[in-house]
Chains A and B, each alone.
Chain A
Amino acid sequence: MAFITANWNPLGDAFYRKTELYEMFWSLRDGLRDSLVAAAPYGGPIALLREPLRRSPSTRPQLEIYSASGASITSFPWKSGPVVYLGWSVNDELLCVQEDGTVLIYDLFGSFKRHFSMGQEVVQSQVLEAKVFHSPYGTGVAIVTGSSRFTLATNIEDLKLRRLPEVAGLQGRPSCWAVLTQDRQTKVLVSSGPELYVLDNTSCTAVYPPGLSPQAGSIVHMSVSFSYKYLALFTETGRLWTGLSNLQERLSEVDTKQAATPKQMVWCRRPRSQQPSVVLMWDRLLLVVGSCNDTIQFPLEDQSVLVGELDGVRIIGSSSHELLQEVPLVCQDIFKIASMAPGALLLEAHREYEKSSQKADEYLREIKEQNVLGDAVRQCVEAAAHEYDPDTQKALMRAASFGKCFLTEFSPDQFVTTCRELRVLNAVRESSVGMPLTHTQFKQMTLQVLIDRLVYRQFYPLAIEVCRYLKIPDYQGVSRVLKHWASCKVQQKDLTDEAIARAVCAKVGDSPGVSYSDIAAKAYECGRPELAIKLLDFEARSGEQVPLLLKMKRSQLALSKAVESGDTDLVYTVVTYLKNEMNRGDFFMTLRNQPVALSLYRQFCKLQEPQTLKDLYNQDDDHQELGNFYVTSSYRDKRLEGRLAQLQSAVDEYNKAKNDFAAKATEEEMRLLRFQRKLDDEKGAGLLGLSLQATMEALMSLGLHKQAEQLYRDFRVPDKRYWWLKLKSLAEKEQWEELEKFSKSKKSPIGYLAFVEVCMKNNNRHEAKKYVSKVTPEQKVKAHLAVGDLEGAADAAIERRNEAEMGAVLSRCSASDRLLMDKLNRARVAAAKK
């Protein structure tokens, strides 16, 4: 603890420190010499390809993948063509750029995933150099070919190759180049001899770094910062120019006094950097150059590789792995010798307190007098986040916790969050895991990505621990991990389907958000259809199972799952699929076992394929529906003969269905149609299509009473309805004599009030009155009222001693009917007395 500043080196007014992250697990026979090395940022994995260009077929180069702590993840002989460049994608996939422009993609464990080409012309001209870069759009690849042309792919997930314009005067390999992402555009900065160019989609523009000394000579090395915002250029005379990458401003120009071109040059900055620097590496020397002209020199013992990070530079050597970074301001404040910053005092106070010394109180008082205890706590917490050593973290957090005790109303959030995050960070930094993430990097890459990374590395238990510890909702946390785990599990070749299904089910259970169908799809992809089916059984969402089942040609199962889901559209989809796939007989049989699907298909046929509908009913011997079907189609037939034939079929079917009523009714209909046709032909009556009642009506109004009567008898029309019909018809035609004759033909089944009312309706009071006397006693009053005979009504009501009826008559009386009203009122009183 006391020596915490021991590895601090001043640079301008800031400090730089170099911390050892790991002693490497690996033991490399030849170190990193003659190897292509790719180390992913954010403490990602390291890939190593020894002697990539050795072409003898007998000795294939070995491709090795290690964690950042040098633990071997995988290793396999490289069997494809010569590799020019290795790089990592944002998803922890290894991109191997071959000489012929093919990019092969492997996962962390060395399994080949896919490949793509950087263009046909490259096969001829070959790739000279390549770079993998990251931008908001994902992972990109840039190459320069033997014909000095650049080609870019900004996102390997959505491959679009862009061939950049020619660089004037460039022959062969450019002396150096870099990829820039600016204003949502990806460009290439290239140095050719004394010139510097910016290449974008359409043009090649010469540019001049502002303030670069004219005697500096041509640019031999360049480096763009992690954020693409800054640019460093190294010239042949050993001068280092730094400035903004848009070449609008210079930051500094330093003479490094080194003549040789550095092997690597990387920006070393951090967010809110006080003293950004560029780290240059030669064979035996590491030089940190600040923009204040100040430098720090470190001797290098063996071949190393620099990896630029958001907040520093990692140095990977054959035996150790170090982080070089600017000491964060808050750590400087606390640990700088003789610092009087609140955090420093609090740390001191706590140290004394632990020693049970009263000095603790003095320090505390000093902080409190300045009223900065809150700041002190915050500083300690913040500094703890930046420290790599758990002991230092603990000391700072304890001090913060101590200080917090003297504060009221201080939000504990930051403290708690930092504690949790540090625990997680310490866990993933463990050399067995090997993710040397700083807190700043962690915040930038987010927890989600960290979990993804753990999952890619197959640290499933740790990932789940992290999710649970940080209380991430299952949907985004544990479930996601389990999903990956299961997809990986189904690929295990040494286990039986049964065992895997059981294992998956035991672990995944019904964790929310894990889709068994996705896992099953994976199993199917790996050629394990039986396992896929077993897994699909666990899928709660029946709908999700359907597409895969169809793909696996388990259409029957797909159908029953679709039915189960309740989603009728899905059922339709499967049905349509089955219809195209099966022969008709099988198809119908399948539907027969699925009533829901069958009825949906019937609906479909009703609208789209009436003939199929008929076949379906036929298959089921559903004679009732067949009858209905023929009735429906009879109405579509324009010719009477056709229509009758359809109806005859309907009759037959109804008979088979033992629906006597429908059969008889349909026969009646046919009889009526024939009758109508006959009369239409004979008399042009225009009857066809009318209902029986309307036909009789029409006949009567045409005066064809005999024919009407024939229908009445033939169709056994109830007397009541026929009488109504005839009554109305005669009254309408004002055939009063006929009407009277009709009324006397036999006792009216509809009574005689109807006669009264119909006559009145046709404005013949005289005729109406004729029937009043025939009306039953109950309807007498009504009948008298109907013809407007108040007196008659009154008499009838009084005779019947019916109060309600008397009331009804009274309500129709007007003032002029005084006498009548008196009479009624008297009768009412009399009736009431009784």
Chain B
Amino acid sequence: MAAHLSYGRVNLNILREAARKELREFLDKCAGSKAIVWDEYLTGPFGLIAQYSLLKEHEVEKMFTLKSGRLPSADVKNIIFFVRPRLELMDIIAQNIFSEDKLHPARDFHILFVPRRSMLCEQRLKEQGVLGSFVNIDEYILDLIPFDGDLLSMEYESAFRECYLENDQTSLYHTAKGLMTLQALYGTIPQIFGKGDCARHVANMMLRMKREFAGTQNQILPVFDTLLLLDRNVDLLTPLATQLTYEGLIDEIYGINNGYVKLPPEKFAQKKQGEGSKDLPMEPKKLQLNSAEELYAEIRDKNFNAVGAALSKKAKIISAAFEERHNAKTVGEIKQFVSQLPHMQAARSSLANHTSVAELIKDITTSEAFFDNLTVEQEFMTGVDTDKVNTYIEDCIAQKDPLIKILRLVSMQSVCNNGLKPKVLDYYKREILQTYGYEHILTLNNLEKAGLLKPQTGSRNNYPTIRKTLKLWMEDANEQNPNDISYVYSGYAPLSIRLTQVLARPGWRSIEEVLKMLPGPHFEERQQLPSGLHKKRQQGENRTTLVFFLGGVTYAEIAALRFLSQMEDSGMEYIIATTKLMNGTTWVKSLMDRPECQIP
């Protein structure tokens, strides 16, 4: 089921297997038939670890969603709550238990905290008087979830908000713990680099934890050579820009959740001859997106403008393969052809799906609105007129375009100008408040706190320097046959990835000046390896770097890193980890505050 996890340089299936083993062990601890009550948020991430079949093998007969009131009846011996350690969920659980039918034969209750147990929650259960009802209280340490052969995510949605708005570093603690788990499975990572306050904090915790666990040191040959920790606030610009890779656009437009995307069904309808289009399926089409699908692995990271060509090339190959049958003369040849059929059919349906997806996306990318938006983004990124009120943004506000779009654009302008003149900023803010409602004053305040919006202070705009030194804008980005990461944004090379690239070669020392302009400290740490575990590198063997984005990463950035891994002369392979897979929209959304209005 998860073979694609083991194709990469680092076999991430080990991590998944370890997680599955632990899950099985917990389930077996509760002997007899069981029902699971799910914290809804967890079902997606769990799906990547274990399918229902695994649960079923361990006598899980029913699954419910956690909600207040009485638990649905189920003739099972055990009820297991799978929950995040959150107080509000504890209250719901307590309610569930109180309203349990007293006449009913008693059922055993268990609670499994994901990813960590919490004394605070247990205390709450105790206050509610239900703590004693649990036979087992356990934790399921699920920090890093393997999403693909080179991709791990914690799916910790609020990480950025918590770190930068609320000064709550819970997610960083989980990150450090997750990295410790990773090191337990893949060996100690000898070198740690980092940039940003959160990165520093995580590195400190890791080093401390290593001291704490000294002696239980594992004797595994290190798989990773380097760990790079990057704060999202070091590069606020990249996520704000519209991603232009295939996968990036799917995410921007339809949103990818836990490896799945839901698409409008119209384009996927099986068009049978003679039938009209009246029986269109109403359910959205759900597609799983990962490298297990050969075609998708090939095109996901391409600039969208290169996807069409790739698809038509593929179409030719596939139809040529089907034509082969006419050439098959002998029984042996026919047999061979037939044996390849399932594979070919899968390829054909995959092609059909992605052709439809590409059509859907093309309808949008060729629209004038998309073009105008992109033009303005690119103007900002190249530093054109970033210090005045932008008419396009004004018009968009007047047209009442979605607020998030406006916030993304204004933030981008602010970031590219190292803050906006107070007059300009206030103008935008007033426009937003008057058009979208005064309640958004809280959201604007949040964006200011996070540094996405800021009034220009005395210091001069250093963005142009950063842009030039790091070559963030490449005029001649080649979308079809890229030779630089800037292809992922058709010209803009993501800052975060440039930092990663420079670190590998020639090293950060060459950009000290720029690093100082970016927020937070940059640092390097070394972790001692037990003697005998020092890797003897083969000639020409690539080094492996784990890049951890604290606060989220976009698919375009992932694509850029994959591009670097594939570059012949880079000598480096990248594995990507993050607190959350995100895009500008989900990111800005996570920073918004919407007070519930009570007025009817």
Q: How far is the CB of A742 from chain B (nearest CB, A)?
A: 15
Q: How far is the CB of A581 from chain B (nearest CB, A)?
A: 14
Return the CB mask of A725-745 against B: 1 if under 8 Å, else 0: 100000000000000000000
Return the CB mask of A624-660 against B: 1 if under 8 Å, else 0: 1000100110111110100100000000000000000
**A600 interface residue, CB < 8 Å from B?**
yes
| CB closest residue in chain A, given B399 | A724
Return the CB mask of A520-563 against B: 1 if under 8 Å, else 0: 00000000000000000000111000000000000000000000
Q: How far is the CB of A663 from chain B (nearest CB, A)?
A: 11
Cα A624 to Cα B431 with chains together (Å)? 21
Chain A interface helix/strand/loop/mixed: helix
Contact pick for A573, options B120, B172, B211, CB 8 Å:
B120
Return the CB mask of B177-212 against A: 1 if under 8 Å, else 0: 000000000000000000000000100110010011
Cα A666 to Cα B438 with chains together (Å)? 7
Within 8 A of A (CB), among B411-456: 426, 429-431, 433-439, 441-442, 445
Cα A640 to Cα B597 with chains together (Å)? 12
| CB closest residue in chain A, given B598 | A638
**A607 interface residue, CB < 8 Å from B?**
yes
Q: Which residues of B contact A631 (CB under 8 A)?
A: 439, 441-442, 595
**A498 interface residue, CB < 8 Å from B?**
no
Q: Is there an interface contact between B201 and A566, defined as CB atoms closer than 8 Å?
A: yes
Q: Which residues of B contact A600 (CB under 8 A)?
A: 168
Chain B interface helix/strand/loop/mixed: helix
**A596 interface residue, CB < 8 Å from B?**
yes
Q: Is there an interface contact between A569 and B87, defined as CB atoms closer than 8 Å?
A: no
Known: A715-B434, A721-B397. A540 touches B212 (CB 8 A): yes
**B123 interface residue, CB < 8 Å from A?**
yes
Q: Is there an interface contact between B441 and A596, defined as CB atoms closer than 8 Å?
A: no
**A718 interface residue, CB < 8 Å from B?**
yes
Q: How far is the CB of A588 from chain B (nearest CB, A)?
A: 17
**B118 interface residue, CB < 8 Å from A?**
yes
**A668 interface residue, CB < 8 Å from B?**
yes
Q: Is there an interface contact between A636 and B119, defined as CB atoms closer than 8 Å?
A: no
Q: Is there an interface contact between B429 and A661, defined as CB atoms closer than 8 Å?
A: yes
**A474 interface residue, CB < 8 Å from B?**
yes
Cα A339 to Cα B205 with chains together (Å)? 68
Return the CB mask of A493-526 against B: 1 if under 8 Å, else 0: 0000000000000000011110000000000000
Contact pick for A568, options B168, B217, B441, CB 8 Å:
B168
Within 8 A of B (CB), among A74-111: none
Q: Is there an interface contact between A717 and B434, defined as CB atoms closer than 8 Å?
A: yes
Q: Is there an interface contact between A570 and B166, defined as CB atoms closer than 8 Å?
A: no
Q: Is there an interface contact between A569 and B118, defined as CB atoms closer than 8 Å?
A: yes
Cα A479 to Cα B213 with chains together (Å)? 13
Within 8 A of A (CB), among B572-600: 593, 595-599
Return the CB mask of B370-401 against A: 1 if under 8 Å, else 0: 00000000000000000000000011011110
Contact pick for A692, options B173, B434, B596, CB 8 Å:
B434
Return the CB mask of A600-611 against B: 1 if under 8 Å, else 0: 101110011000
**B169 interface residue, CB < 8 Å from A?**
yes
Q: How far is the CB of A769 from chain B (nearest CB, A)?
A: 21
Q: Is there an interface contact between B398 and A689, defined as CB atoms closer than 8 Å?
A: no
Q: Is there an interface contact between A566 and B398, defined as CB atoms closer than 8 Å?
A: no
Contact pick for B123, options A540, A573, A607, CB 8 Å:
A573
| CB closest residue in chain B, given A511 | B215
**B214 interface residue, CB < 8 Å from A?**
yes
Contact pick for A510, options B166, B201, B214, B398, CB 8 Å:
B214
Q: Which residues of B contact A570 (CB under 8 A)?
A: 119
**A193 interface residue, CB < 8 Å from B?**
no
**B176 interface residue, CB < 8 Å from A?**
yes
Q: Is there an interface contact between A512 and B437, defined as CB atoms closer than 8 Å?
A: no
Among A512, A567, A717, find the residue whose CB has the most chain B CB atoms closer than 10 A.
Answer: A567
Q: Which residues of A contact B205 (CB under 8 A)?
A: 566
Q: Is there an interface contact between B215 and A473, defined as CB atoms closer than 8 Å?
A: yes
Within 8 A of A (CB), among B129-180: 166-170, 172-173, 176
| CB closest residue in chain B, given A647 | B438
**A392 interface residue, CB < 8 Å from B?**
no
Q: Which residues of B contact A718 (CB under 8 A)?
A: 394, 431
Count chain B residues whose beta carbon lies closer than 8 angstroms to a beta carbon of A: 53
Cα A777 to Cα B169 with chains together (Å)? 57
Among B120, B123, B205, find the residue whose CB has the most chain A CB atoms closer than 10 A.
Answer: B120
Q: How far is the CB of A251 from chain B (nearest CB, A)?
A: 42
Q: Which residues of A contact B438 (CB under 8 A)?
A: 665-666, 668-669, 672, 691
Within 8 A of B (CB), among A679-729: 688-694, 715, 717-718, 720-721, 724-725
| CB closest residue in chain B, given A635 | B595
Q: Which residues of A contact B211 (CB under 8 A)?
A: 510, 540
**B568 interface residue, CB < 8 Å from A?**
no
Q: Which residues of A contact B87 (CB under 8 A)?
A: 604, 607-608
| CB closest residue in chain A, given B446 | A628
Q: Is there an interface contact between A568 and B434, defined as CB atoms closer than 8 Å?
A: no
Among A479, A568, A717, find the residue whose CB has the most chain B CB atoms closer than 10 A.
Answer: A568
Cα A473 to Cα B593 with chains together (Å)? 53
Among B166, B169, B436, B596, find the residue whose CB has the most chain A CB atoms closer than 10 A.
Answer: B169
Cα A691 to Cα B434 with chains together (Å)? 6
Q: Is there an interface contact between A599 and B435, defined as CB atoms closer than 8 Å?
A: no
| CB closest residue in chain B, given A716 | B430
Q: Is there an interface contact between A691 and B437, defined as CB atoms closer than 8 Å?
A: yes
Known: A596-B169, A721-B435. A541 touches B599 (CB 8 A): no
Q: Which residues of A contact B491 (CB under 8 A)?
A: none
Q: How far is the CB of A249 from chain B (nearest CB, A)?
A: 37
**A292 interface residue, CB < 8 Å from B?**
no
Q: Which residues of A contact B120 (CB under 8 A)?
A: 569, 572-573, 576
Q: Which residues of A contact B116 (CB under 8 A)?
A: 569
Known: A566-B176, A566-B205, A721-B431. A636 touches B595 (CB 8 A): yes
Q: Is there an interface contact between A632 and B442, defined as CB atoms closer than 8 Å?
A: yes
Return the CB mask of A403-437 against B: 1 if under 8 Å, else 0: 00000000000000000000000000000000000
Q: Which residues of A contact B323 (CB under 8 A)?
A: none
Known: A512-B215, A599-B167. A635 touches B398 (CB 8 A): no
Q: Which residues of A contact B327 (CB under 8 A)?
A: none
Q: Which residues of A contact B598 (CB under 8 A)?
A: 635-638
Q: Which residues of B contact A138 (CB under 8 A)?
A: none
Return the CB mask of B83-101 against A: 1 if under 8 Å, else 0: 0010110000000000000
Cα A632 to Cα B85 with chains together (Å)? 26
| CB closest residue in chain A, given B210 | A540
Q: Which residues of A contact B397 (CB under 8 A)?
A: 721
**A785 interface residue, CB < 8 Å from B?**
no
Q: Which residues of B contact A542 (CB under 8 A)?
A: 208
Q: Which residues of A contact B399 (CB under 8 A)?
A: 724
Cα A693 to Cα B426 with chains together (Å)? 17
| CB closest residue in chain A, given B391 | A720
Q: Which residues of B contact A512 (CB under 8 A)?
A: 213-217
Cα A604 to Cα B208 with chains together (Å)? 27
Return the CB mask of B210-228 against A: 1 if under 8 Å, else 0: 0111111100000000000
Q: Is there an interface contact between A599 and B168, defined as CB atoms closer than 8 Å?
A: yes
Q: How far is the CB of A686 from chain B (nearest CB, A)?
A: 10
Q: Is there an interface contact between A572 and B119, defined as CB atoms closer than 8 Å?
A: yes
Q: Which residues of B contact A541 (CB under 8 A)?
A: 208, 212
Q: Can you list 23 contacts pairing A with B, beta carbon distance less than 8 Å?
A: A474-B215, A511-B215, A540-B211, A540-B212, A542-B208, A565-B208, A566-B173, A567-B173, A569-B85, A569-B119, A570-B119, A572-B120, A576-B120, A635-B595, A635-B597, A635-B598, A636-B596, A662-B441, A665-B433, A668-B438, A669-B438, A691-B438, A721-B397
Binding site for A on B (CB under 8 A): 85, 87-88, 116, 118-120, 123, 166-170, 172-173, 176, 201, 204-205, 208, 211-217, 394-395, 397-400, 426, 429-431, 433-439, 441-442, 445, 593, 595-599
Query: Which 8 residue pairs spanning A and B have beta carbons closest together?
Result: A512-B215, A599-B167, A635-B595, A669-B438, A691-B437, A724-B398, A692-B434, A512-B214
Kindly list 8 other residue pairs between chains A and B, CB separation below 8 angstroms, not including A665-B430, A692-B433.
A565-B208, A566-B176, A636-B595, A665-B433, A666-B438, A691-B436, A720-B395, A724-B395
